[in-house]
A = this chain, B = another copy of it.
């Protein structure tokens, strides 16, 4: 690990440079953990870096706002880009390596491969962002194979993404272990997200209603309520607060399939619009 707060992380922009740095780690017998990000780092990302440091001798953070996971109507153009601030936070956190390719390094001319998933990718986000997991699967498979990381840490805040990435890596036999990390929240329950900075003060005050509604639904379900009824109640709570609900669903926590059998592990997942900002969240039951 570099001398924390002194030299700062090494920053590389080409696959060749990245592989040369990682080869050096390997020669020294060190393991590598990757934290894939789109930048605009917050305390949730830093928690992933800390979890990565507990797993491996070296920690790389990728910063790449991946165009293929945004639809033309989405916020790719206005997605926050705060590279210098991100690097300062990663220096503070003692991160070793920042992998920051540009789009041409990631998708050179002639790029011809796309990926699609069924299973955990069915429904939920896919109903509203049909190309999202295709874009995520390609860029994450590339990040895993570019870095050759032993571990990759993902926040549970993007829970369906976590399950999709885990399935994809297993399906392709990518030898990178996907490690989930608990969602980091504000004191009032709002899940940390780079998109929270889009919220007006009034919206920010309203936003915790999603987590509150999910928590109440989990309590009802644990007390014996039917998951569908509990989630309908949660939907009402969120809608009454002025949000437009994309989904509020109870799913199998591993497969993300519709609930089918009593006793299966349950995850409650939500996506809703607050003004022009789309927020997602989820909790276990």
Contact = CB atoms under 8 A, between A and B. Distances in A.
Contact of A113 (B15, B113, B168, B255): B168
B117 A116 contact: no
Interface string A103-137: 00000001111111111110000000000000001
Interface in A165-179: 167-168, 171-175
Nearest to A176: B145
In this complex, the interface size class of chain A, counting residues with CB under 8 Å from chain B, is 20 to 34
Contact of A119 (B110, B121, B141): B110
Contact of A145 (B111, B119, B173): B173
Contacts of A173: 15, 142, 145-146
A148 interface: yes
A124 to B, nearest CB: 14
A116 B112 CA distance: 8
Nearest to A110: B119
15 contacts: A19-B175, A112-B117, A112-B119, A112-B121, A112-B167, A112-B168, A113-B116, A113-B167, A113-B172, A114-B117, A115-B115, A115-B116, A138-B172, A141-B172, A142-B172
